[in-house]
Amino acid sequence: MNVLIVEDHSDDRKLLHYTLEHNGCTVIEAQDGQQGLELATRLKPDIIISDALMPRMDGFQFLRALKADPELSSIPFIFYSAVYTGESEENLAISLGAAAFVIKPMEPEELWARISMIMESLHARTSAAMHASMDEREEHFLREYGRIVATKLEEKVLELEQSLALRKQAEDELRRLNAELHGEIAERKRAEISLREHEQELAIIFENAPFMMMLLDSERRVHRVNYLTCSLTGTSSNNMIDRRVGEALRCAHAVNSDEGCGFSPYCEECVVRRTVMDTSDTGRSNHQVEARLPITRDGKEQSVVLLLSTTKVVVANQDMVLLSLQDISEYKKLEAQLHHAQKMESIGTLAGGIAHDFNNILTVIIGYGDIALMGVGDDDPMRQHIGHIMGAARRAACLAQDLLLFSRKQLSDKRKTDLNEILGSVDKFLRRVIGEDITCTITPADGKIPVFADTHQIEQVLMNLAINARDALPKGGLLSIATERIRLDEEFITTHGGSGGSGMYALLTVTDTGTGMDMETCRKIFDPFFTTKEIGKGTGLGLAVVYGIVKQHDGYITVYSEPGLGTTFRVYLPLCKSAGNSIETEPRNLMPARGTETVLLAEDDESVRNMVLALLQNFGYKVIVAVDGEDAVQKYRESSEPVQLLLFDVIMPKKSGKEAYDEISKIEPGIKVIFASGYASDTIRQKARVSDNVMLISKPYIPIELLGMVRKVLD
């Protein structure tokens, strides 16, 4: 049996095709009424099974076309379709001459059973006569067909409206979600930008921080460093990344050890390593820890002092230690210099104070000694004993003198003088002192080296330095002394601390090839009484005196020494514009003349006062005694005799010697005076305003010297 299937839905068509073929039919397929009509005309199938609603030509029109064609009108026609309007479709179909209207969907077997049944009944039935007229049938068809199509359209419109509404709703939802998504994207972008900006800000802060910063991982390996850290080591950050902290900082120990930082025995003691490990292990922060590190910079090993802080931080989900460092080496150096200067200042004050009291005592010993000597005959055995006492007292006086020189409380007689000339004048003497085993070369700079200096004190500087060199050259060697002119800049002045400003200086260099000193010794050599020599050999005052003299001249002294290699001392003295004439010292008159004049003596120290009183009286003078400045003025006023000379101590209670002198000068202008002091400094000298009729004598005075000066002033 040939069956023509007319169906627009391909799935339905295939299913139907399969069912029919399965039951032994030959199947022809058409997709709509039009194609169905063509195939039916051409192939004349035994039966047609058609859908009702299809595009181009629907089932009803297809059926009408068949019935209108006499050649095709006898082919049985079965509708297989879903119902839309109830029974009207079925009724219309039957009225148009359809054999049956089977309602979709139906199980294949049931469908086949229906089709077989319809076919059998068709054979039995004689084709019913069309009792209605053609016009009536046409009218009926149009009415029914219009109604079905209208209902169908309404339904479709309703369906369409519903689907449109749904679609609109979905579109709205989509638009809303889209807007939401856009918002989220914008928000994300903003967050990303702000994060990037934040990161950039942090990077800038990290890079430009005024101290060194390093991020270290749990193995103390460098994760990141800032610019300043590179400047400490003189390497690039690439050179530090992934290295252990000590190695990255170019610690000499770490670099020297093959295994790197953390393995050399020094590393176990390394404060940097310990501090970082502490923070890494315990999470504890450390602040301002001081660490000294020997680092290699520009190929040289240097000791730097670092101030370090550590904090635990989390970077990229990893525990790290943020290490910040400050190089305080320069600060430490300045601090040490300041400490040294302060120490020297306070020791100076102490030494000056002791020397002052000492001098008063020695003045008494020497004075009475002299008086005693005057009273004993030349062959008296006592003469020798007293001579020993005097010798010892003079040696003690020399010590006190040195202490005063160190403390800068000693009077100095500074004039314009030529440093080369001083050097020339001590040349012979120096060579004699150092002996023949030592080769001495003296190289003065060309021309004059004018300095404002006390010649005797500079000679003493030279002597003390030369004697030390000699002691450092027990097996002989080389001693060279040279002078030159040099400019000192601000940096030198600030790092060496002192009263002299920058500018031109005379440089005196004393170098020996002797035993040299280690750093520890170098730091102490200027301290009074510091000596490495055996008892009786060294006093420890030589360099203290040199230091005091140089300071009193607004100069500087530096030492450079290495054990076994020798020592160089450099003395810098401010240079004058031109050299003045050095003044010849007058030869001393050995035996002072006696006198009969009246002397007003003012001295607060009782034993000194009594000694001077005895001395002057011994030499024929009349003496009026005062215990302080005020007493002196009063005694002057009360005196019935004219006073020819005032002999005043400078520092006294109530009124100073100078104040007393000023008052008396008002009463008697031009009165002669001698000031004495064991404690006179430059300031006192300035205060006393040295003029022709004002003489200064320092304690302890040698009686002969005092008597000589008294005579000189009176005459």
| Residue 703 makes contact with Mg ion by CB under 5 A | no
Report how far residue 372's alpha carbon sits from residue 374's, in angstroms, rounded to the nearest whole number: 5
Nearest-CA neighbor of 649 among 604, 593, 707? 604
Of the candidate spans 33-41, 280-288, 464-472, 638-646, the one that interacts with Mg ion by CB under 5 A turns out to be: 464-472
Report what 539 binds from Mg ion, ligand ADP, none; CB cut-off 5-8 Å by kind.
Answer: ligand ADP
| Residue 515 contacts Mg ion per CB under 5 A | no
88 interface partner picked from ligand ADP, Mg ion, none, CB below 5 to 8 A per type: none
The least distance separating Mg ion from the CB of residue 540, rounded to whole angstroms, comes to 8
As measured in angstroms, the least distance from the Cβ of 528 to ligand ADP is 8
CA distance 656 to 662: 10
- Phi, psi (deg, nearest 5) at residue 149: -65, -40
> Does 352 interact with Mg ion (rule: CB under 5 A)?
no
Interface with Mg ion (CB under 5 A), residue total 2
Distances, alpha carbon 279 to alpha carbons 194, 229, 322, 617, in Å: 31, 20, 9, 83
What is the C-alpha separation between 589 and 591, in angstroms, rounded? 6
Query: Cβ of residue 713: shortest distance to ligand ADP, in angstroms?
Result: 38
Closer CB to Mg ion, 227 or 529, in the complex: 529
Minimum CB distance to Mg ion, residue 525 (Å): 9
Cβ at position 572, least distance to ligand ADP in Å: 18
User: Applying CB under 6 A, which residues contact ligand ADP?
Assistant: 464, 468-469, 472, 512, 514-517, 521, 525, 530-533, 538-544, 567
Question: Which of 348, 542 has the CB closer to Mg ion?
Answer: 542
Residue 84 binds: one of Mg ion, ligand ADP, none (C-beta under 5 to 8 A by kind): none
Q: How far is CA 145 from CA 52, 92, 98, 137, in A?
A: 11, 7, 14, 12
End-to-end CA distance of the chain: 176
Q: Is residue 280 involved in binding Mg ion (CB under 5 A)?
A: no
Distance, in Å, from the CA atom of 335 to the CA atom of 329, rounded to the nearest integer, reads 10
Q: What is the dihedral of CA 551, 553, 558, 563, to 10 degrees?
A: -80
CB 535 to ligand ADP: min, Å: 11
Which H or E element spans position 3?
Answer: strand 2-6
Work out what residue 568 binds among Mg ion, ligand ADP, none; the CB cut-off runs from 5 to 8 Å by kind: none
* Lookup result for tokens 């009193």: 552
> Which one, 271 or 433, has the nearer CB to Mg ion?
433
Min dist. Cβ of residue 563 to ligand ADP (A)? 9
Cis peptide before 105 (omega within 30 of 0): yes
Dist. CA 660–CA 602, nearest whole Å: 9
542 counts as binding Mg ion under rule CB under 5 A: yes
Q: How far is the CB of 496 from ligand ADP (least distance, A)?
A: 19
The dihedral region occupied by 229, where left means phi > 0, alpha psi between -120 and 50, and beta the remainder, is alpha
Which helix (H) or strand (E) segment holds residue 544: the answer is helix 542-552
* CB closer to ligand ADP out of 92 and 543: 543
User: Could you tell me which stretch among 120-128, 461-469, 578-586, 651-659 binds Mg ion (CB under 5 A)?
Assistant: 461-469
- Is 31 or 468 the residue whose CB approaches Mg ion more closely? 468
Chosen from ligand ADP, Mg ion, none, partner binding at 353 (C-beta under 5 to 8 Å by type): none
* Residue whose C-beta lies closest to ligand ADP: 542
Please report whether residue 468 would count as binding Mg ion according to CB under 5 A: yes
629 binds Mg ion (CB under 5 A): no
What are the two backbone dihedrals, phi and then psi, of residue 536, each rounded to the nearest 5 degrees? 95, -25
Minimum CB distance to ligand ADP, residue 406 (Å): 10
Contact 7, 50 (CB under 8 A): yes
Which residues contribute to the site for Mg ion (CB under 5 A)? 468, 542
